[in-house]
């Protein structure tokens, strides 16, 4: 493992911030961490970062735009910009944070967000398949991301319910039976560090697709019932498992401290 210069895009987002924090704790590796965010960095800085980095964690993306066209701009064209800037530095690892919505199946069949993520995947695979490029790519179709600090009332139903129940706000469940696959931020970060250490988990019979090995499945109804239990009893069940303990930790992060 010879990665010293690490670029994290989407550095101001939930996943990006948590990954950068974890990378900074790896003092043993003496890493140079380049954090890129559209809101904070100048465009020419992206070219500077891309020209010298060994590994890119691409968490940048758009998931709640005003116009559907912005899906392509944020999820496809930005990746194309990165690929253009690494042409002279093509012996590189690139991780793409895609989404389960890119499957375009089931309730995601008409997802414009999913279509843009699928286009990004195709773009990256085509780039890596070019014999002139030496890039190694890692595509993660991430499910629902959870954990302390996820923004409520945005793109996480779990965060929205946590915030509402913790603070006595109104909320609505359209269908208690909807099943969610959930990855907590600490498990995502752990897998990103696995990638850094050449121990990423590749999907069987897939050349470019990888996965976070620790995930959970629960219905919206089950999640809300657990959150209400936390609210009423200020604790988890006696025989709580990992999922419940992680959800409780997330729930606690939304309780607002009342001023005396």
DSSP type of residue 202: B
> What pLDDT was estimated at residue 68?
75
> What pLDDT was estimated at residue 66?
67
> What pLDDT was estimated at residue 258?
52
Q: CATH topology of 5-142 equal to that of 144-183+214-260?
A: yes
The domain locations on the chain are: 5-142, 144-183+214-260
Cβ–Cβ under 8 Å, residues 197 and 189 = no
Do the strands 136-142 and 32-36 form a parallel or antiparallel pair, or are they unpaired? unpaired
Q: Determine the Cα angle at 42 with ends 39 and 45, to 5°.
A: 125
CATH-assigned architecture of domain 5-142: 3-Layer(aba) Sandwich (3.40)
Residue 21 exposed, middle or buried by CB count within 10 Å (0-12, 13-18, 19+): exposed
> What DSSP element (H or E) covers 57?
strand 55-58
Kindly report the length of the chain: 260
d(CA 36, CA 56): 11
Joined tokens for residue 81? 């910009």
d(CA 213, CA 228): 28
CATH 3.40.50.300 fits 144-183+214-260, yes or no: no
> What pLDDT was estimated at residue 260?
39
> What pLDDT was estimated at residue 131?
72
> What pLDDT was estimated at residue 259?
46
Q: What is the pLDDT of residues 139-195, one digit of tens each?
A: 999 999 999 999 998 889 999 999 999 999 999 998 999 999 999 999 999 999 999
d(CA 162, CA 147): 10
pLDDT along the chain (260 residues), means of 10: 87 96 91 92 90 94 74 90 85 94 94 94 94 88 95 91 96 94 98 96 95 98 98 95 98 76
What is the largest distance, in Å, between two alpha-carbon atoms of the chain? 65
Joined tokens for residue 99? 């989404």
> What pLDDT was estimated at residue 70?
78
Cβ–Cβ under 8 Å, residues 198 and 1 = yes
d(CA 227, CA 181): 17
């Amino acid at each position: 493992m010879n990665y010293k210069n690490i670029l994290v895009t989407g550095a101001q987002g939930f996943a990006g911030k948590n990954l950068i924090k974890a990378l900074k704790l790896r003092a043993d590796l003496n890493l140079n961490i380049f954090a890129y965010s559209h809101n904070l960095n100048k465009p020419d800085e992206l070219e500077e970062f891309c020209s010298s980095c060994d590994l890119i964690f691409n968490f940048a993306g758009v998931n709640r735009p005003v116009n559907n066209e912005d899906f392509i701009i944020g999820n496809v064209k930005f990746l194309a910009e990165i690929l253009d800037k690494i042409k002279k530095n093509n012996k590189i690892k690139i991780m793409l944070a895609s989404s389960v919505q890119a499957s375009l199946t089931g309730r995601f069949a008409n997802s414009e967000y999913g279509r843009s993520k699928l286009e990004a995947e195709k773009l990256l695979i085509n780039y890596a398949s070019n014999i002139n490029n030496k890039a190694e790519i890692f595509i993660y179709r991430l499910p629902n991301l959870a954990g302390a600090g996820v923004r409520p009332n945005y793109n996480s139903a779990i965060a929205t319910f946590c915030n509402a129940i913790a603070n006595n706000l109104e909320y609505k469940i359209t269908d208690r039976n909807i099943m969610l696959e959930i990855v907590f931020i600490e498990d995502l970060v752990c897998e990103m560090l696995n990638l850094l250490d050449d121990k990423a988990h590749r999907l069987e019979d897939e050349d470019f697709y990888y996965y976070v090995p620790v995930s959970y499945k629960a219905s919206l109804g089950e999640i809300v019932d657990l959150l209400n239990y936390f609210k009423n009893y200020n604790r988890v069940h006696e025989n709580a498992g990992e999922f419940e303990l992680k959800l409780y930790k997330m729930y606690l992060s939304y309780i607002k401290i009342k001023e005396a």
